[in-house]
Structure 1
Amino acid sequence: MTQSVRNDSDRDQRQDQSFRTLMGDVRPISRARNRADPGRASKGPSDAQLARRESAAAEPGGRDFLSDDFVDLVPPFDPLEYRRDGIQHGVVDRLRHGGYAVQAQLHLLRRPLEECRRTLPSFIQDAYAHDLRSVLVIHGRGQSIDSPPNVLRSYLAKWLVQFPEVQAFVSASQADGGLGATWVMLRKSDRARANNRERQQKRRG
């Protein structure tokens, strides 16, 4: 009985050694690949990031859309869709199917992420200032979740909700670019609402 136990122990030790030899330098994965990290090495923001944030805050209407350096990645075949409270589903459906005229387009395809971050605020704010309601952002879509176009698409979904001017956004139909483009609905400006009230009052006499 004692000899049998010793033989079993020796066999287990040999198996453990063989397993470690086969595994070699294999290491367990430390985190899931469903979050994008543009390269920050430490947990705190860098001096350059802090300077950009202070500069954005000092500018009129300035906003820092990368307050943290991570974004939850959207699966490449999942459409984007968002609407604020009070916006009807019918508006989003009409937007999705190209039921509103393209009043302006922003092309972000193959642009660096930082350039897109700088370009988007001025585009949204200029469109709102000119009383535009429906605009199209073209960004592309990659085949894998961590491809550059899909990372940009994921950041776009994160950034757009931070604009008070944005009422809704949704991935476009195939005719307008499919998952590689996003329709954005902007709210009416105070000037546009005042003009509408004035026109309605004139009709009523």
Structure 2
Amino acid sequence: MNQPLRDDMDFRDLIGDVKPLPPSNRADPGANRKRPSEAQLARREWAEEEMGARNFLSDDFVDLLPPFDPMEYRREGIQQGVVDKLKHGGYSVQSQLHLLRRPLSECRRMLFPFIQEAYAHDLRSVMIVHGRGREIDSPANVLRSYLAKWLSQFEEVQAYVSAQSSEGGLGATWVMLRKSDRAKANNRERQQKRRG
């Protein structure tokens, strides 16, 4: 007798004679879930409308990027060394946003809260996976072109670059966010303690 069959027989001997529960005595995992109240639904709807109203990302015409050119952007005052370190994976991914095969309007709607929340939680380096197309007017390249425009509209974004080929290449973008005031204060406090 082979080992799996012996194990199966040993298991049956251990549990004995077992009968399934009648349908009336089974737990319904969906039964205990409460439906959101009217007030909760109203708050949720208000929050979505508020976020949409604050979303300043433009969906106007954009110049399409050549599909095989890497993206690179840095704000004035940001050192080239920071961009080079970002480009070569010198920072760890603290959060990712996947926009692959999503409609442009949905990508716009998802990007805005992603950047806002990452900044609010003091994240500095995030990655956006968007895919890449081989043709200039492919949906992935159109999204990539809009992403380049949108990221530069955020005050929180210091720099962005296309990822290395091992991290997604032209189909992913590293984004460096500026430090929040809270993070700056924490840095100053740590340095003050170090100096004694």
Question: If the TM-score is normalised by the length of the shorter chain, which range does it land in?
Answer: 0.7 to 0.9
Percent identity, aligned pairs only, is 74
Distance 2:96 2:75 in 1: 22
* CA distances 1:175-202 after superposition (whole Å, capped 9, x unpaired): 1100000000000000000001111111
Hey, what does 1:63 align to over in structure 2? 55
The equivalent position to 1:158 in structure 2, one of 124, 127, 149, is 149
* CA distances 1:144-194 after superposition (whole Å, capped 9, x unpaired): 000000000000000000100000000000011000000000000000000
**TM-score normalised by L of structure 2:** 0.73
* CA distances 1:129-158 after superposition (whole Å, capped 9, x unpaired): 111000000000000000000000000000
Distance 1:90 1:156 in 2: 23
Distance 2:190 2:80 in 1: 27
Written as runs of structure 1 = structure 2, the 5 A alignment for 1:91-170 is 91-170=82-161
Report the CA distance shift for 1:57/1:115 in structure 2 as closer, same or farther (over 3 A): closer
Report the CA distance shift for 1:174/1:60 in structure 2 as closer, same or farther (over 3 A): closer
| Residue identity opposite 2:57 in structure 1 | F
Distance 1:96 1:76 in 2: 18
Hey, what does 2:23 align to over in structure 1? none
* CA distances 1:46-79 after superposition (whole Å, capped 9, x unpaired): xxxxxxxxx999659813212x521000000011
Distance 1:86 1:64 in 2: 24
2:167 is equivalent to residue 179 of structure 1: no
| Residue identity opposite 1:173 in structure 2 | Q
Over 2 Å off, 4+ runs: 55-61
Report the CA distance shift for 1:94/1:61 in structure 2 as closer, same or farther (over 3 A): farther
Q: How many residues align?
A: 150
Pairwise CA RMSD: 1.9
Gaps of 5+ in 1: 1-54
The equivalent position to 1:200 in structure 2, one of 177, 191, 194, is 191
Report if aligned partners of 2:128, 2:172 keep a CA contact under 8 Å in 1.
yes
Hey, what does 1:74 align to over in structure 2? 65
| Residue identity opposite 1:143 in structure 2 | R
**TM-score normalised by L of structure 1:** 0.70
| Residue identity opposite 1:65 in structure 2 | L
Report if aligned partners of 1:57, 1:63 keep a CA contact under 8 Å in 2.
no
Report if aligned partners of 2:57, 2:112 keep a CA contact under 8 Å in 1.
no
Gaps of 5+ in 2: 1-46
